Amino acid sequence: MRRLLAFAALLVLAAGCGGGASSKPAQSHSVLDVSKAFYDAGLPFNSLVTGNQYVTGQVPFLPFALNSSDLRFHVAAELNGSSNTTHSAQVVWVFDTDSNAAKALRQVPLAKWGQGPVQITRAHLGNVIVVASGFTGAQRARLDKALAALR
C-alpha cells in the first residue's frame, strides 16, 4: 500500500512539472530579432529606448494620444536609425505582444505614424511597427530586405 501511495504521489508531482502550453501572450519578434534583421540588411540602429514605467523619462515616444496612453508601457523597445549621407531614418517600435501593437493601430491608424515631406514607408509586422523616411534606390532595397526578414 505504501508503494502505491508513493507511486501516486510521484505521479502527481510529475504531472505538475510538465512543460505545458505557455499562457504568455504572443510576440512575433523579439527586440534582438528586429535589431538583427535591420543590421543584416545594412541599416543598423543608432539608439535604443527601452520602456520602464518606474524610471522617469524611460518610456518610448509614441505618436499622438498613444504617448500618454497605457500602451506606452507595453513597448519593449523603440529602435532608431538614421543616415546623414542618404538622408534616411527609421523608427521601429517593438511591442510586448502582437495584440498591443494592434491596439495601438486601432487608436492611431498606421497612415498617421510618421509625417514629413519625403517618402514615408510604414509597416505592421505582428508586434512590430516600422516607420521609415527617405528610402529610395539602394536604401529602399535594404529596407525591403529588413522588412522581408520580419515577415
DSSP character string of 55-79: STT-S---SGGGGGSGGGGGEEEEE
Helix (H) or strand (E) holding 148: helix 137-150
Plot region of 51 (φ>0 → left; ψ -120 to 50 → alpha; else → beta)? beta
From first to last of its 151 residues, the chain has per-residue pLDDT tens of 454 334 333 333 344 444 445 566 788 999 999 999 999 999 999 999 998 878 877 889 999 999 999 999 999 999 999 999 989 999 999 999 999 999 999 999 999 999 877 789 999 999 999 999 999 998 999 999 999 999 9
Q: What is the pLDDT of residue 122?
A: 96
